[in-house]
Amino acid sequence: MSQIQLTIKDASESLGVPKYSITNLCNQGLIPHVRRDQRHRRILEPWQVDLARVLLGMKQAGFRPKEIRQYSRLYRQGPSTEAERLAMLTTRKRQLWHEIETRQKAIDFIERQEEVTHAAE
């Protein structure tokens, strides 16, 4: 029984990202054990596509490259690292909420200044 395998092109279409995004993850060693087919195309297994999805999401969420490498390493170590991975995600989420609050205060300030400036005209 063969397991489903995807080319980089198929995986990129499935994830809705450019091929180079997944290729870069492979080249950086963040997606390990990538095999090649007879035509030398990279072939990904479902767990590797899942890992790519997570790592690309982390990049979009503003994780630093060092944190993404650490998360990838922990992910490959399996369920025993779930608590540490969850802590990384929770910490970043908290940071993002703080950034949102800070940006909202800045928007509120600008809106007040617009009102004051417009009223003075």
**Is the pLDDT assigned to residue 1 strictly greater than 70?**
no
pLDDT mean over 68-79:
93
Is position 112 within any domain? yes
Residue 6 pairs in a beta bridge with 44
1 assigned to some structural domain? no
Helix (H), strand (E), coil (C) string for 5-38: CEEHHHHHHHHCCCHHHHHHHHHCCCCCCCEECC
CATH of the domain at 71: 1.10.1660.10
How high is the pLDDT of residue 118?
83
Give the global pTM. Answer: 0.80
Provide the domain limits for residue 61.
6-120
d(CA 115, CA 119): 6
The DSSP bridge partners found for residue 44 are 6
11-26: burial string, b at 16+ Cβ within 10 Å, e else: bbeebebeeebbbebb
- What distance in Å separates the CA atoms of residue 39 and residue 29, rounded to the nearest whole number? 21
Closest Cα partner for 76 from 108, 101, 47?
47
- Per-residue pLDDT at 66 exceeds 70: yes
- Determine, yes or no, domain membership for 73: yes
Q: Residue 22 pLDDT > 70, yes or no?
A: yes
The mean of the pLDDT values for the chain is 93
For the chain, how many structural domains are there in total? Answer: 1
Q: Is the pLDDT of residue 58 over 80?
A: yes
Residue 32 lies in a domain: yes
105: Cβ contacts below 8 Å, ≥ 6 apart: none
